[in-house]
Amino acid sequence: MMTTEQLEALATAIDAGAEERGWNEGPLLVRVEGAALGFKELEGHPLDTLLGFTAPADWLALGVCAEGWAASLDAGCRPSQAKGRMRMRSTIFVARDGVVASGLRLAGDGFTLMAGEGYGTILDGLKCALGVPTAPPEVPFEGWVARMLLMLIIGDVPRGHRRVPWCQLRPSLEKYRSLADDGSWEAFRGVAAKHENVVADLTPEVAVWMDEGMFSRWVIGGMPSYEHLLDEARRACTQEAFSQLRRQLKAWGLPARIRKAA
């Protein structure tokens, strides 16, 4: 077993080595095998290697050191596309017993250890590779159903001045209500584990490898925010239809308040 202090010291040392090599280097996968360290330079995103991978039982810990971009949470776009973005390097380790240590370095600054576990697909991938449970879903299954319903209402083609009336929305709302009542993240993962193309960019084999928490974040991660979809649905619906929609969202325990324009 490895302690938090040991993992933090390892993360600090790995970042120091990366700083000596300089920036614009590819990701690095690091394993702790007994008293030895193993390194593998990766091409592409670390998830390309982690997805579906199961670490040998004698590996005590697994980590990734990778560069990326940091930006304000209010940027409204990916960090790599945000104005004022900054180059950053993150290093994260997960031990076999679930202990996590991670740190961050902005270009030109020092390395800072992070408090708590943090979050993200790389953390989830490291945990699943070691057989460590990931964090529970942050978004309930009803939240995914709601997003799917809102995207259906909005559609892909502008309607001009035509809005979705209640008589048109009602059958879809009843269908999605039934889906929410009968389904769950684990049941959805079970379907994705048996059939191709249930979830974009996710094979059945990887769905089996994931646990419920990682699966839920993978599915939600590629979707627009709930708040954005709700606002767009308001514009696409008649007042009566949107009133009925809000009633269902509240029944699912989801927020249904629209932000007023400043």
Indicate the pTM of the whole model: 0.89
In the 8-state DSSP scheme, what is residue 81? G
Domain definitions of the chain by residue range: 4-130, 141-251
Q: Phi, psi at residue 23, to the nearest 5°? A: -90, 175
Token duo for residue 225: 């925010």
**Interval 166-218: pLDDT, tens:** 999 999 999 999 999 999 999 999 999 999 999 988 999 999 999 999 999 99
Nearest residue to 114 via CA among 34, 197, 12: 12
pLDDT digits (tens, 9 = 90+) for 113-158: 998 888 899 999 999 999 999 999 999 999 999 999 999 999 865 6
Which of these, 197, 173, 194, 178, lies nearest to 247 by C-alpha position? 173
- pLDDT at 74 (0 to 100): 58
What is the Cβ-side half-sphere exposure of residue 164, based on CA atoms within 13 angstroms?
26
Q: Strand pairing partners for 28?
A: 41, 65
